[in-house]
Amino acid sequence: MSADPPITVKTSPRVPAYKLAATEVKRYIETHQLKGGDALPSEALLCQELGMSRASLREGLKALESLGIIRTRHGEGVFVAHFSFDPILHNLPYSIAAQGSSLRDLLAVRTALEVGMVGQIVGRIRAQDIETLRHLALEMLALSERGESYAQQDRAFHAALFACLDNAFLLSLVDLFWQVFNRLSDRLPIPDRAAQQATARDHLQVVEMLETGNVAALEQAHRQHFHEISKRLEAVDASGSLGLPGRAASPVPLNP
């Protein structure tokens, strides 16, 4: 009678100590219901509480800081970080611009987010906020007529548009999309002055539709103001020039 074959035991790879430390620190934050700005105990107390070496803890804390979960203040200690999309933006791979389809997909999500939320502004935005939006749009138009960049005015416009919803998560996400597209502005063909002016007027149209209180018209106007960037992406598809190295940065913002 032949002997039974030996049993093979599958083992999982050893988890690095710093990853275990990071996991335990996150669990500590959740268990103690710490919020943004709350301080963590000292290293000595955390090591004792979590049963780990100081070296492992420090590496774990570094990993958590790179993810934006904690913040270290020299001379003060370690604190739970307030929510932010900054780590995503800072670690965003530039390879997202390697294919036009990737950028089109990103634009589709951004358009769906803003158009889907803009109708909720009606009836909630104040008259003075509408005037702020009008002022920003007129500034954009004046700058476009001089062939100058209106990137900062555009960023402020999108922030002011949704501010009345009092949704910090939405504002962070809207700004994240804005920064991503602005970062990639040197990868797309530079629009001519007429295109810049048309985009600025699209922003004015959003303000005018907001004043009417017509939700459907507002949504249509907001969707339309993304049209210029769509045309620039179509130009990329036709030329195949997206992501070519050595291209000078554009003085004109990518964001519509």
* Per-residue pLDDT, 248: 37
Structurally, the chain folds into a number of domains equal to: 2
Of 68, 65, 82, the closest CA to residue 21 belongs to: 65
Q: Are residues 60 and 111 in the same domain?
A: no
Q: Are residues 128 and 195 in the same domain?
A: yes
* Per-residue pLDDT, 191: 72
Taking the alpha carbons of 151, 153, 157, 159 in that order, is the dihedral positive or negative? positive
With cut-offs at 50, 70 and 90, classify the pLDDT of residue 67.
confident
Please give the structure tokens belonging to residue 136: 């920003």
Please give the structure tokens belonging to residue 14: 């050893």
With cut-offs at 50, 70 and 90, classify the pLDDT of residue 227.
confident
Dump pLDDT digits (tens) for 164-221: 999 988 998 899 888 887 777 666 666 778 888 999 999 999 999 999 999 999 999 9
Q: How far apart are CA 241 and CA 232, in angstroms?
A: 11
Strand partners, 72: 78
- Residue 109 is part of a domain; what is its CATH number? 1.20.120.530
Backbone φ, ψ for residue 78 (5° rounding): -115, 135
Dump pLDDT digits (tens) for 120-169: 999 999 999 999 999 999 999 999 999 898 999 999 999 999 999 999 88
Of 113, 111, 103, 105, the closest CA to residue 189 belongs to: 103
Segments forming the whole domain that contains residue 227? 93-239
Residue 25, amino acid: V
The answer to whether position 247 is within a domain reads no
The answer to whether position 173 is within a domain reads yes
The answer on pLDDT for 54 being more than 60 is: yes
The answer to whether position 188 is within a domain reads yes
Instruction: Compute how many other C-beta atoms are within 10 angstroms of the C-beta atom of residue 130.
Output: 18
With cut-offs at 50, 70 and 90, classify the pLDDT of residue 225.
confident
Q: Are residues 22 and 75 in the same domain?
A: yes
Please give the structure tokens belonging to residue 168: 């910090």
With cut-offs at 50, 70 and 90, classify the pLDDT of residue 7.
very low
C-beta separation of 72 from 42 below 8 A: no
Q: How far apart are CA 47 and CA 202, in angstroms?
A: 57
